[in-house]
Structure 1
């Protein structure tokens, strides 16, 4: 079945993926620089691009840059005066991401900030850089609930919030899991379900990235 999911992903990618040389270079830079291969897939990147276009995003916040692959997909949906701020903990990852973003011709639209996201998010509020029109959370899982709470603070009514990797190949079904990433997304999923500030759902996805899911929310 996993082979089938992968083949369907390839079919979709060949049909509408539109991965150009800059995106391919960003994808290759992950392996070349020893970065964990945990970026979104081609089809997920295109999905984020479409979502950004759908909400007419002018300001986007990304929590978790990695090598900048998803960053490029989203930034390309911005208008000429749009802005994307992306937060990355690892300085090496941030350096690779900046090179990939520059290679895609997007340095004027994208700002990469280095440091713990949980420390950077309050600074965005202090600098009055919100509200953002779209926020993508794809970073370390244990503080996902806190990232979600900060996302709401940096939003406006109608802001779209997306959180990746919230199903963990079904491991979220185990309340006694000793995996801190599973427990982190379980905390987030429960918080999303109970928080009246947003309305959202979780979509399971399968394909090149195996079995996982994305939470998609709109701020009320």
Structure 2
């Protein structure tokens, strides 16, 4: 049996045992596929991890950089109190439209605000508005991860949790000579974490039905 088969089987086992079937979230994935949105959402086990981290933190305001079809947005919104809010940034207006319908179908529209445009254009608007966040999830274009981290620090409450997805790049993150700008973006992001005295961080390698990758988990002092 290949590693991928093992990872898939283990993921299926944990999902069956720990993550009950959810017709709303399944409908989100189906709608995304029908709309031609790339199938690169977090997995159900990873979505549940985001949900639990938001619960553990007691988050009230969450920033997500990279909405896609709203799958992870819904996971995090479900962890919030009634007055909580997820602000999620999406560059593609068509993806944002699909996400808006998905979020409405899941009954989370009062907890999620989708902001359309380049994140590096919309993040300063949030800063100007004085918005601060308890949890920040970075899951967008990897070359800009260093910029997103700098903005995350600008927008983070003391004690905020910062999570970044897709940091292992199937192991390519260790290749300092990689010509893949996504790999180099992640490597620069990791270098900033190493140098940044305001953050305590670690990285976790992940396997499962999304393949081999990983998360960065960090806390702002």
TM-score range for the pair, normalised by the shorter chain length: over 0.9
Query: 1:218 and 1:83 mapped to 2: Cα distance?
Result: 20
Partner of 2:147: 146
1:15 aligns with 2:17: yes
Partner of 1:88: 90
Partner of 2:53: 51
Give deviations 1:129-187, integer Å, cap 9, x for gaps.
Answer: 21x01000000000101101100110121100000000100001111111111111111
The structure where strand makes up a greater share of residues is: 2
5+ unaligned residues in a row in structure 2: which ranges?
none
Determine helix, strand or coil for the equivalent of 1:204: strand
1:27 aligns with 2:39: no
Could you tell me how far 1:18 is from its partner in structure 2?
2.8
Could you tell me how far 1:83 is from its partner in structure 2?
0.8
The answer to whether the Cα contact below 8 Å between 1:19 and 1:42 also exists between their aligned partners in 2 is: no
Alignment of 1:120-199 (within 5 A): 120-130=122-132, 132-199=133-200
Query: 2:21 and 2:98 mapped to 1: Cα distance?
Result: 19
C-alpha RMSD of matched pairs (Å): 0.7
Determine helix, strand or coil for the equivalent of 1:108: coil
In structure 2, do the counterparts of structure 1 residues 115 and 151 end up closer, same or farther at CA, with 3 Å as the change threshold?
same
Partner of 2:214: 213
In structure 2, do the counterparts of structure 1 residues 97 and 19 end up closer, same or farther at CA, with 3 Å as the change threshold?
farther
The answer to whether the Cα contact below 8 Å between 1:159 and 1:218 also exists between their aligned partners in 2 is: yes
Q: Runs of 4+ in structure 1 displaced over 4 angstroms?
A: none
Query: 2:193 and 2:209 mapped to 1: Cα distance?
Result: 26
Partner of 1:103: 105
Give deviations 1:47-87, integer Å, cap 9, x for gaps.
Answer: 00000000000000000000000000000000011111000
Determine helix, strand or coil for the equivalent of 1:157: strand
Aligned residues: 219
Query: 1:208 and 1:193 mapped to 2: Cα distance?
Result: 30
Query: 1:18 and 1:63 mapped to 2: Cα distance?
Result: 27
Could you tell me how far 1:19 is from its partner in structure 2?
4.2
Query: 1:206 and 1:154 mapped to 2: Cα distance?
Result: 30
In structure 2, do the counterparts of structure 1 residues 198 and 19 end up closer, same or farther at CA, with 3 Å as the change threshold?
farther
The answer to whether the Cα contact below 8 Å between 1:101 and 1:107 also exists between their aligned partners in 2 is: yes
